[in-house]
Amino acid sequence: FAVLDPTRRLAVDVIDRYESAAASSRRVVSLLRSDQRIDERPDAPDLAVEAGAVEYDGVSFAYSGADTPAIDDVSLSVDGGAFVGVVGPTGAGKSTLLKLLFRLYDPDAGTVRIDGRDVSAVTLSSLRRGVGYVSQDPFLFPGTVAENVAYAEADPDREAVVDAARLAGADEFVRTLPDGYDTEVGERGASLSGGQRQRLALARALFVDPPILVLDEATSHVDNETGAEIRRCLRAMAGDRTVFAVAHRLSTVRDADRILVVEDGRLVEDGCHEDLVATGGTYARLWRTQIGAVTAADGGGGEKTAP
Ligand code: ATP
């Protein structure tokens, strides 16, 4: 190595840094390339949801880099307006299955349809308007409660905000906050409990009044009281909507029209609570385990309560 004068050394250093920056940006680009992109077809029409019927036809999906598919050849058909529970062991693929409905990911094989339309053939904006989603860990941005509920609109009608909150079972606690709907919720809603955040997120989804709603129940941080309250309002807010509710506590979806049981990315059982318990399969086993846990928490005595 020749000894470089300071100016040249600086130049080499800059080039070196540029090279490594370029290399890492190439890596990023190739990562993005290998990762799936959600594209909208040119001239894609809007989706106009009518009945809200949902169909999965031979759908498989693997996360990039994963050895096994998260969803493995799932076919199902759900009538518009149905209330559908989705249950199964942790990591079974429940959330992933529903994320394919509004194209958070696209399947590697098979087709997802809403009212007979392939979801990948319509505009993303119309699809996302048609399918409301409440995630396990909903994001609240710094702003007031009302702004968080109505973030889809610049100048929201307060009455519509309150209606959505009421339907989501949030109105009662919002009224106890210092400034009601004008209370600042802080970054990530730090001053609210997990259950309260979920209810605000549900209110946000209901504010848009989507014909199809996907609810991903949080595994933790929803206490029993909140769970019971969510259960109570689930039916009320379902109305004519098609609702998919991922549930960790089976009692949340005990009354569902249909319960889909997912295990290892496959749809292993499909039916109402009574039928599934009678079948004696995965659902019956999960149900017995949860009843056992509740009974044990009660000290093993007393009447058996639903989990
Ligand atoms: P839980 O009940 O714990 O919420 P789940 O049934 O909803 O689980 P998914 O979250 O759909 O299961 O996950 C299915 C599988 O895909 C799991 O093995 C999980 O680790 C994996 N997975 C989920 N999200 C991702 C991701 N973004 N990238 C890679 N793998 C993922």
- Which helix or strand (DSSP H or E) is residue 204 part of? helix 194-207
CA–centroid distance, residue 56 to ligand 1 (Å): 19
Q: What integer pLDDT is reported at residue 140 of this predicted model?
A: 85
Q: Over the chain, what is the mean pLDDT?
A: 82
Q: What are phi and psi of 205, to 5 degrees?
A: -65, -40
Distance, in Å, from the CA atom of 34 to the CA atom of 32, rounded to the nearest integer, reads: 6
pTM of the model: 0.81
Q: What integer pLDDT is reported at residue 222 of this predicted model?
A: 55
Q: What's the mean pLDDT in 70-97?
A: 96
Pocket test for ligand 1, best of 36, 95, 108 (most atoms within 8 A of CB): 95
pLDDT at residue 3 is higher than 70: no
Q: What's the mean pLDDT in 174-203?
A: 84
CA–centroid distance, residue 265 to ligand 1 (Å): 10
* Number of other CB atoms surrounding residue 31 within 10 Å: 10
Residue nearest to atom 1 of ligand 1 (CA): 90
Pocket test for ligand 1, best of 71, 94, 98, 250 (most atoms within 8 A of CB): 94
pLDDT at residue 10 is higher than 80: no
CA–centroid distance, residue 171 to ligand 1 (Å): 32
- Cα dihedral sign, 242-246-251-252: negative
Number of the ligand 1 atom closest to the C-alpha atom of 96 = 11
CA–centroid distance, residue 35 to ligand 1 (Å): 16
Please list every protein residue whose CB sits less than 6 Å from any atom of ligand 1.
63, 66, 70, 88, 90-96, 219
Residue nearest to atom 28 of ligand 1 (CA): 63
Residue whose entry in the numeric block shows the structure tokens 């199902």:
76
pLDDT at residue 19 is higher than 50: no
Name the residue type at position 44. Answer: A
Residue nearest to atom 20 of ligand 1 (CA): 91
Q: Higher model confidence: residue 154 or residue 128?
A: 128
Residue nearest to atom 26 of ligand 1 (CA): 63
**What tokens appear for 51 in the block?**
């009945």
Q: What integer pLDDT is reported at residue 258 of this predicted model?
A: 96
CA–centroid distance, residue 247 to ligand 1 (Å): 14
Contacts of 208 (CB under 8 A, 6+ apart): 129, 132, 152
Residue nearest to atom 8 of ligand 1 (CA): 91
ipTM of the complex: 0.98
Strands of 258-263's sheet in order across: 131-134, 212-216, 242-246, 83-87, 258-263, 266-271
Q: What's the mean pLDDT in 76-88?
A: 96
Q: What integer pLDDT is reported at residue 102 of this predicted model?
A: 94
